[in-house]
Each structure stands twice: as structure tokens, then as C-alpha cells.
Chains A and B, each alone.
Chain A
Amino acid sequence: MGGTSVAVAHGILESASPEPKSRVQSVPRLVRTTLTEDPLPEGRYLVRDGCGRIVNASFEVDGETISARVADAQPGNWKVRFDFISSADGHRYNETYTFSVAGSKDCSPPADEEMEEEAGDDSAGGSGSTSPPDESSHGGAAGSIPASGTTQDVPFGPLTIATAAVIGLAVFGRRSAATSK
């Protein structure tokens, strides 16, 4: 059975359901991955079934946990890949782990999923999902993240004020007159 296939840039897997390297008896309806640090909501989370097809239309980030609901899927060796940036220190989480699902699989491809199959496992391309992110739950379309726009604004005002304050403080200190002993 597939081990925890790790392609680590940074980050670590805290726990997962189903567990890495485990074998479950039926196709899971929910796949959940918990990391050791909170990920930023935008990122990638791809769940592939025994046929290698991406089976999550979207994912949700709640604290340290990423979860995805699974639609139609086939047994076999499943692979979960996540690629996120830590909201705490900017490190990138980029790992893959596997588990297996008991049963025989039917991998005849539905016509509308052909594009998904073209996306390689390590491709940054994403799922081809058309589902929009669920903004209220910090969700994102599986694998696919917006190429523009930010989730929040850069606080240019406070940063500018802080910059002006520290520069002004330094000028004030430099202009101090020396005192005779």
C-alpha cells in the first residue's frame, strides 16, 4: 500500500481521516487533513480516487483542518495532495499522502472528466472544477485558486504611519545634543 509519499517543501501533517497508509472498507464521503499550523485559505487540496480522478469539487479550511466532500469515487489507492502557505510564518506546506479503499474499481472515464485526467499529479494545474469557492467558509475550488485579487487588503495606512513614526523617532534621536559630563 502506498506510504506517506512526501514531497515536502515545508510543513507537516498532523493527522488525517482516513489516516495515511490506512485501508478503509468503503469509499469515504469526507476526507480531512489536519496540519500543525493554520494554512491560508487559498491553496490547493486534491483528492484522487483509485482511478486517479480528482473527486473533490471544493474544500474548506477551518483552523488547522482542511476538509473536502467526495462525490462519486472508485475504490483503490487514493492520494491526497495539499499545497498551502502557513498563515503564521509563511512556510509552504506541500505534501502528498495515500490510503486505500477496499473494493473493485471501475475506471471507465465519464466524458466530462477527460480534462481532469490531463492534469498530472504534480501539475499545479488543478482540478478543472467549475465550482466557485465558498467564501463564507474560506473554501476554495479544488486545486484551482484565483489568479488575481487578495483575500484582504494590504494595510498600507497603518504601515505608512508606522514607517513615518519610526523614521521621525530616529531623526529626533539623531538631533539630540550631546551632554557634557
Chain B
Amino acid sequence: MAQEVPELALWSARLLVYLSIALLFGLVPITLLVLRPAFASARRSGTVVREKLLRRTQHVVIASLVAGASGTFLMLLNNALEDASLRDISLGLGSFERVLTTNFGQWQALRFPFLTALGILLVGKIGPWLLGGATATDERAPRRWWAIWILLSGALLATVPLTGHAGGHDLRVPAIVNDFCHVAFGASWISGIVGLSYLLPGGWQGHGEKTPLAVLAPAVDRFSHVAFWSIAAVAATGTINVLLHLGGLGRLFDTGYGRTLLVKLGVVACILIFGAINHFLLRDRLTAALATEQPSKHARLLRRNVRAELILGIAVIGATSALVGSPPPG
């Protein structure tokens, strides 16, 4: 009799897949709204930071492609094992075939061509094109490259609500549209946090740059606005999700799904606290430090906060993975 994939492995696979898909999608708005304008305002400064950012972004994209494909395979394998287990047969191609006859199987399987296509589109082109147009001497990436990136990563992102609880809801279309918006804004936010905490390593110290904080200060300033609107949208669509899937706030406390959701909301509340500190206390001081061309102690504090936000953001995705793995009571 076939064995099932251990629940912890399945949860980890979901977390990896969701984080990967979020990054592949969220890098687009974060690059266009935050990183490219920040480099444009830094003018000649930021060369060292730029090289590191492009290298690290390439690594993040490749890691996301590999993790997304591996996690998706594990999820399909689990579905096939459950089919085999239900039938008392050994795992074989027949079980995979039966999984592919279902909606969730087909949408999950479609992630492979989406990931492959994103690999073809992005790998090797991040370096010359990601920040293209930020300075006067740059070559600008073709618009259709960006358009196709948005299209492919958006389609990849859509597989999340299509294979989740929204796909099985009585109000299928509104539930899927709302969930898509929820994960799209969440993806933009987490990608911005990854951008500030990991992709801009030189930005924090300004090593080798003429003007310390030349890239970081405008990046933080711009991301602050993106984060505000993203989190507001995530909260609004998340509230609708609660009403759609939970069927009432009372069920927050008396069901496993509701309690997991409470944990997620608690983590989000912590993120909001860090975000508020960054937005209202540290952002202006960082901009002031840039004006005086002096290193700022606030940059260190901000970096610690952003790292904490990154950990909490991954915890939110972890809680989401647990929610997807448990039945909604509504």
C-alpha cells in the first residue's frame, strides 16, 4: 500500500512553492516601483550596490524556479499517493493520470511550463535588463519582456487560488478573484522585504560608494508607500476571505482552521508594528542622513527591523500553508 507524504514535508513544500511564486511575481512591481527609481535617483552612486543586487536577484530567481518546481512535484506526488492509498494499489502512472483528470491536478501541473517559461525569459537577462533605464546611459529592457514576465508570473500566481479553497467555494469566481488579489498584494509586500533585506546588501553600508545610503534611503522611502497600500489591500481581501471561508468570526475560536488563522493574524499584527516603526520613525531620519551624506545609526535599526519582518513574513506564508492544508469550516 502506498504511503503518504509526511504532513511536515507537505507543509514545507507548500511554503516553498508559495514563497517562490510570490517572489517570481512580486519582483516585478518592486523593481518597477522601488528599485529602479531608487537607482535612478542615486545617479552615479550605487554601482557596487547595483552589481550585488543584480547577482543576488539572479540567484533568487533561479532558487525560486527550482524550489517552485520541486515543491509542486511533491504536492502532485502526495495527491498521487493518496489516490493509490485510497485504492490499495502501488503508486504508478495511473495514480498520476487520475490526479491530472482533476482541476487541482491540471492547475498544479501547469506550474511546470510556467516555471520553465519564466526560466527561459529571466535567467541571463536579469543582469542587463532588470534595472535597464535607471540611468541615462542604460539600455532599457523591452516593454514586451516586462509584459511577458507579468503575464507568466501572474498566471503562475493564479494557480494558487485555483488549487486552494477558493477553487472549491460555492462563489467560485469572486472567491478566486479576491484570493488572487490577496496573494498578489502579499507577494508584492514580501518581495519588497526580500529586496530590502537581501537584494540590497551593499545599500545598508554604502561600501565602495561615494554617497552612503544613496540607494537605500530612496528605496526605503518608496517601499514604505508600496508596503502601506499592499498591506491595506491584503487586509481588505483577507477580511473577505475570512467571511467567505470561515462563515463567521465566531468560528475563529472553535475550529482548527480558525485558530490557525488567528495565529496568522497575530503575526501580521507584529509585522504592522515593525512597519509602523519603519514608516513613521526611521524613514525620515534615513532621508535626513542621506542629505548630510553621513552614515546613520538608524540604518542599522531599520535593517534589523526589516530582517525581523522577513522572518515574520515567512511565518505568515507558513501559516497560510497550514490553512491550505486544513479544511475551512464555512
Chain A positions within 8 Å of B, measured between CB atoms, are 9-12, 36-38, 40, 42-44, 83-92, 124-126, 145-155, 159, 162-163, 166-167, 169-174, 176-181
Q: How far is the CB of B46 from chain A (nearest CB, A)?
A: 17
Could you name 18 residue pairs across A and B whose Cβ atoms are closer than 8 Å?
A: A10-B327, A36-B327, A37-B327, A84-B86, A86-B168, A88-B104, A90-B108, A91-B325, A92-B86, A124-B86, A149-B94, A154-B101, A166-B117, A169-B148, A172-B144, A174-B120, A176-B142, A178-B132
Say yes or no: A173 contacts B326, CB within 8 Å: no
Measured CA separation A87–B87 after assembly (Å): 16
Measured CA separation A95–B120 after assembly (Å): 45
Across the two chains, which residue of chain A brings its CB closest to B114?
Answer: A166
B128 in the interface (beta carbon within 8 A): yes
Measured CA separation A155–B103 after assembly (Å): 11
Given A159-B109, A174-B120, CB of A36 within 8 Å of CB of B103: no
Interface residues of A, dominant DSSP = loop
Say yes or no: A147 contacts B165, CB within 8 Å: no
Say yes or no: B167 contacts A154, CB within 8 Å: no
Interface residues of B, dominant DSSP = helix
Within 8 A of A (CB), among B190-212: none
Chain B residues contacting A37 (CB-CB under 8 Å) are 165, 168, 327
Say yes or no: B86 contacts A177, CB within 8 Å: no
Chain A residues contacting B100 (CB-CB under 8 Å) are 154-155, 159
Chain B residues touching A, range? 35 or more
Chain B residues contacting A171 (CB-CB under 8 Å) are 120
* Cβ contacts B84-103/A at 8 Å (1 or 0 each): 01111100001001111111
Measured CA separation A12–B100 after assembly (Å): 24
Q: How far is the CB of A127 from chain B (nearest CB, A)?
A: 13
Say yes or no: A89 contacts B116, CB within 8 Å: no
Say yes or no: B164 contacts A85, CB within 8 Å: no
Chain B residues contacting A151 (CB-CB under 8 Å) are 98, 101
Given A37-B327, A85-B82, A167-B116, CB of A176 within 8 Å of CB of B87: no
Selected from A38, A152, A154, A174, the residue in CB contact (under 8 A) with B168 is A38
Chain A residues contacting B155 (CB-CB under 8 Å) are 166
Say yes or no: B163 contacts A177, CB within 8 Å: no
Chain B residues contacting A145 (CB-CB under 8 Å) are 86-87
Measured CA separation A85–B117 after assembly (Å): 31
Measured CA separation A103–B330 after assembly (Å): 36
Selected from B98, B129, B165, the residue in CB contact (under 8 A) with A150 is B98
Measured CA separation A149–B98 after assembly (Å): 8
Given contacts A146-B87, A163-B110, 8 further A-B contacts (CB under 8 A): A85-B102, A124-B85, A124-B86, A159-B106, A166-B117, A170-B117, A171-B120, A178-B142
